[in-house]
Amino acid sequence: MENQKIIISKVTKMHHQKRVLDQVSFEAHPGRVTAFLGPNGAGKSSTLRILLNLDRAQSGQATFANRSYNRFNCPLKMVGTSFDGIGGIPSRTVKTHLRIIAASNGISKNRIYEVLELVHLTDKIHAKLGSLSLGEGQRLGIAITLLGNPQFLIFDEPTNGLDPQGIKWFRNFIREQAELGKTVLLSSHYLSEIEAVADDLVIIKHGKIVLTGELHQILPKLKSLEDLFFDLTEEGA
């Protein structure tokens, strides 16, 4: 099980002569929630895009169980991502959208009903994508993440648009996934939510990793995760 890790190793990315990522290295382990934090422009999205083969690095490696994303024949069966919205044509129904995604990765149609039940969207199966609220769109994104029952789960701002009840549901959900042995990498600006669910912490600033460690070992020395985050990421810190 230990080989079911996400490994980011010495990833460097240049953009217009600017070093966006500088030797970025960290790991996310199975059975744990790893929080990936940093201010806007710090390099979080660039790192995730390289991990998902949506962008290329000048050097370094980003792998799932020692394999790059583009080596998976049916990637949704290995890696689930909630990243950059749900996509899809606004006039398309939720059911059709999920059927197209499932068919593209050889996933059973029955799984559609299972994931919609998991995220409490069964009553929206015939709704058009364009009619969904922001919170419903987030839940649908999570359903897509789960469609292939993957080992690796990557979430980027998953609670954006969720109401308090939805945020509470997501907390329980993400912990359940970790307890099932899934490898969870979570990026969010909601520090209180991170503090409630994360096992491990990675903070990036100006394209460099400035802190990694287990949350329970780091926080006793501080008032809160928010204090730590601002201490490490504010200019001049």
pLDDT tens digits for range 201-228: 999 999 999 989 998 887 765 567 777 7
Print the domain residue range for 187: 1-65+151-237
Cα dihedral 27, 222, 157, 82 sign: positive
pTM attached to this predicted model: 0.90
Same domain, 143 and 156: no
Q: State the total domains in the chain.
A: 2
Are residues 132 and 167 both part of a single domain? no
Question: Does a structural domain hold residue 210?
Answer: yes
Query: Which pair of structure tokens corresponds to residue 33?
Result: 């929630």
State whether 159 and 191 are in the same domain: yes
Q: What is the pLDDT of residues 30-43, one digit of tens each?
A: 999 999 998 888 89
Q: What is the CATH number of the domain that holds 195?
A: 3.40.50.300
Q: Decide if 226 is inside a domain.
A: yes
Which of 124, 150, 176 represents a domain boundary (last residue)?
A: 150
Amino acid at residue number 155: F
Residue 16: per-residue pLDDT = 86
Distance CA 214, CA 212 (A): 7
Alpha-carbon span 205 to 25, nearest angstrom: 13
212 and 105 assigned to the same domain: no
Give residue-wise pLDDT tens across range 87-134.
Answer: 789 999 999 999 999 999 999 999 999 999 999 999 999 999 999 998
162, 233: one domain: yes
